[in-house]
Amino acid sequence: MMAQQTADVIVIGGGITGTSAAYQLALRGYRVTLLEKSYLAAGGTGRTVGLVRQHYSNEITARMALRSLQVWRDFEQAVGGDVGWVQTGALFIVGPHDLEGLKANIALQRQVGINTEFLDAQAVQALAPYLNVEDIGGGAYEPDSGCADGVMATNAYASRAKDLGATILQGVEVTAIRSAGGRITGVKTSQGDYSAPVVINAAGPWGARLALGVGYETPVEVSRHQVAVFQRPEGLASQHPFIGDFVQGFYLRPETGRLTLSGSLEASEAANKVDPDHYAETVDMEFNIEMAEFTEHRVPAMSEAEIRKGWAGLYDVTPDWHPILGRMPGLEGFICAYGWSGSGFKMAPVVGEMIADLVTGEKLCPIDPHLFRFERFAEGDLVRGRYSYSIIG
């Protein structure tokens, strides 16, 4: 069949990664067509908790988080549109045996310019008097961090991309990636063929399946991750920072309406492997109860909280919990950007820039994606964080 439409670049997937990439490419004058099989933010992005933190233990990811935070905080000016940004601050607490690692991470983060500080248990208590600190060694506090809304952010990027001339199509499923003579030629879709010399696979949990169609076995497992939602009792603080509790392996994230979202920080959650097209999208009662128990231990006054609702979403997890982001070897014009392993939302502003650099060959973004190349798995050169206390990189 003749290709319906030609573009410089086709982006597969209308989540936060695909829309940020489409925006950055349109900004650089490229003709971009983004194809989304259902609707914008239908994947992991629509179910995200939306935390934008900077607590990373690798210099590259810490720099990426900081550069992205600067966009989230000032999105209206930097990109345009409302992403529901709320500066909550973020507090990460660890047990005594993880203090050394925490302090080393804080030093690394401060070195790259992140506003973070070490708090001993007493200082944590002073910051958040409602916390039980009896079993913690200390914490890292980032006052500038906060949360944004996945659906609002995706739509903001998409609409800015459209303003700049990008074509954003929903309800169009890519059924195959086309190539000839070692080069990308376009895609086949549920609504005909599209041609372009560059295809960006930003299909999140569905990305590995699409790559397999052109011969790449990317090591990505899809797993189900739940979020429990509690309503705080009246009288408890009207707001609280994001709290990452590495003693119990869970988090608390404030939401409007006196709500608090809660979920796991344990790598073992990735064992809940699912088919991304058929999985339970609601929260299990046992999960609600487990999170309620952790919450009550950390914030005793939450024993009066009510369970309100919850949901489950998908992570696309790689063996080292870092993404595959780069040009794929042996197929000119094929770029993969998935495998975010539960951490892809906050990074989207800088990832859009990195993808645009990969396409254009420019170096407008100061961060090199080499660390995330697909070849690292075969080379045994996995990305390692410096600490062992959690999955968060």
Ligand X SMILES: Cc1cc2nc3c(=O)[nH]c(=O)nc-3n(C[C@H](O)[C@H](O)[C@H](O)COP(=O)(O)OP(=O)(O)OC[C@H]3O[C@@H](n4cnc5c(N)ncnc54)[C@H](O)[C@@H]3O)c2cc1C
Using the rule CB under 6 A, give the single segment among 40-48, 54-62, 137-145, 324-332 that binds ligand X.
40-48
Among 326, 343, 349, 356, binds ligand X (CB under 6 A): 343
How many whole angstroms from its chain centre is CA 231? 25
Among 9, 18, 93, 230, binds ligand X (CB under 6 A): 18
Residue in the structure block whose two tokens are 């607490």: 93
Q: How far is the CB of 55 from ligand X (least distance, A)?
A: 11
Tell me the per-residue interface mask from 266 to 295 with ligand X, x by CB under 6 A, - otherwise: ------------------------------
CA angle 335, 341, 345 (to 5 degrees): 80
CA angle 368, 365, 196 (to 5 degrees): 85
Q: Is 38 one of the binding residues for ligand X (CB under 6 A)?
A: yes
Residue in the structure block whose two tokens are 């996995």: 382
Which tokens belong to 10?
Answer: 């086709």
Using the rule CB under 6 A, give the single segment among 6-14, 96-104, 289-297, 381-389 that binds ligand X.
6-14
Among 23, 157, 294, 338, binds ligand X (CB under 6 A): 338
Burial class (CB in 10 A: 0-12, 13-18, 19+), 349: buried
Identify the CA nearest to 45 among candidates 17, 23, 69.
17
Task: Say which residues have a Cβ less than 8 Å from residue 21's Cβ, sequence separation at least 6.
Answer: 11, 200, 202, 337, 351, 352, 355, 356
Q: Is 352 one of the binding residues for ligand X (CB under 6 A)?
A: no
Q: Is 349 one of the binding residues for ligand X (CB under 6 A)?
A: no
Sign of the torsion angle spanned by Cα atoms 313, 316, 319, 324 = negative
How many whole angstroms from its chain centre is CA 161? 20
Identify the CA nearest to 148 among candidates 228, 55, 68, 51.
51
Among 67, 225, 322, 376, binds ligand X (CB under 6 A): 225
Q: How far is the CB of 279 from ligand X (least distance, A)?
A: 11
Nearer residue to ligand X within complex by CB, 8 or 173: 173
Among 9, 10, 12, 26, binds ligand X (CB under 6 A): 12
The Cα 248–Cα 243 span in angstroms is: 11
Which tokens belong to 390?
Answer: 């959690």
Among 11, 36, 69, 137, binds ligand X (CB under 6 A): 36
Q: Is 296 one of the binding residues for ligand X (CB under 6 A)?
A: no
Q: Is 357 one of the binding residues for ligand X (CB under 6 A)?
A: no
Which residues of this protein are in contact with ligand X, per CB under 6 A? Answer: 12-18, 35-38, 42-45, 47-51, 173-174, 202-206, 210, 225, 227, 313-315, 338, 340, 342-346
